Every structure is written in C-alpha cells, then in structure tokens.
Copies of this chain bind each other. A is one copy, B any other.
Amino acid sequence: MRNLKYAILGLLLEKNMSGYEIKTEFEKSLTEFWYAKHSQIYPELKKLTEEGMTEFITEITGNVLEKKVYSITEKGKEDFMNWIIMDEDISTPKDVFRLRLFFSHNLDLENRLELIENQLKKHEKKLNKLKKEQEKFKNITEKNNIIFADYLILMGAVMREETYCSWLKKCIELYKH
C-alpha cells in the first residue's frame, strides 16, 4: 500500500521540505486523517531516496546544524499521480471504544454509563477544538489550492465528531430508559 510514501510525496509536491518539516506537517495539516512518528518518517525518506523518488541537499542552519532538504523527482511525481487516482476498496476503521462497548454487558449499568460518558466528554472536547479551527476558514473561494482541501477535510472532521457525539448521546439515552 505504501500510504506513508504517498503522504510524503504529496507534501513534497507542494514544496521542498526536511524530515522535521514533514513531521510538523503531519501534526498540523494531516492530523485528521494520517500520522507518523519521526522514527517512521526518516527511514522512509531514506528509502524513497534510494528508490529515486526523492533527492536531497544539505543546508546549514546557524553555524553547524545540518538539515536535509528533500525534493520530489520526476519519477516520484509520476508514481504519485498514478496513486492518487487509484480506486481502492473502502475499509472500516478500527475503534477501541466500540470494542469495549460491544463487550460492556460485562459491566453493571453504572460503569457502562461511565464508560460512554467519558468517551462523550473527549469527543465533545475535540469537536470544540475543531470548530474553533474552522473559524479561520471564513471566506473560501479558490477551489484549486491546498487550502480548499484543508477546508473540506476540516468540515469532514467536524461532521465525523458531531456524529460520534450524537451516537454516544443516543447510547446513553437508551441505557437510561
């Protein structure tokens, strides 16, 4: 599948970046649908370079600190463009909370409700955070840039969290009556 590969290539298509900057982008822009630790990113960049998908030059920050600035090659671009139109089957995300809920008849009603209410609190907190972020996207008109994709992703994340919260509230309601 090599999805991490394409996440990295997609980022490098925007601009040249170091491994550290890529790591930062994962935390900022991709966090609602992908993530990777630096311990996965650095070896992947090494592999990508060996495969001829990326190249790098070394830049110096300050006096001695070396930074490897990666760029995507023609070969990398071709590979990325083949991947992005690929038609893949959808897969259901794993969900540890749902796993717990499925087996929650092993708990008494009180503990079962606590389990769900705790989960609800967390998702409500996340939803509020996402809604605050959404305020940045007031006047979006340009549909051809990465900012618009950001906007659609965030909208999807808000909808996803709203639904998760509604579902949990419905579960609580059903157990209470």
A20 sits at the interface (CB 8 A): no
Find chain B residues with CB under 8 A from A41 CB: none
Within 8 A of B (CB), among A60-118: 80-81, 83-85, 87-107, 111, 114-115, 118
CB distance from A150 to the nearest CB of B (A): 8
| In the bound complex, CA of A5 to CA of B166 (Å) | 29
* A171 and B152 in contact, given A13-B106, A93-B94, A98-B33 (Cβ under 8 angstroms): yes
27 pairs from A and B in contact (CB 8 Å cutoff): A6-B103, A10-B102, A10-B106, A30-B99, A32-B98, A33-B95, A33-B102, A34-B95, A34-B98, A34-B99, A80-B106, A84-B115, A85-B107, A85-B111, A88-B97, A89-B122, A90-B122, A93-B94, A102-B146, A103-B146, A103-B149, A105-B146, A143-B174, A155-B170, A159-B167, A162-B163, A163-B163
Residues of A within 8 A of B (CB): 1, 3, 6-7, 10, 13, 29-35, 80-81, 83-85, 87-107, 111, 114-115, 118-119, 122-123, 126, 143-146, 148-150, 152-153, 155-157, 159-160, 162-164, 166-167, 170-171, 174-175
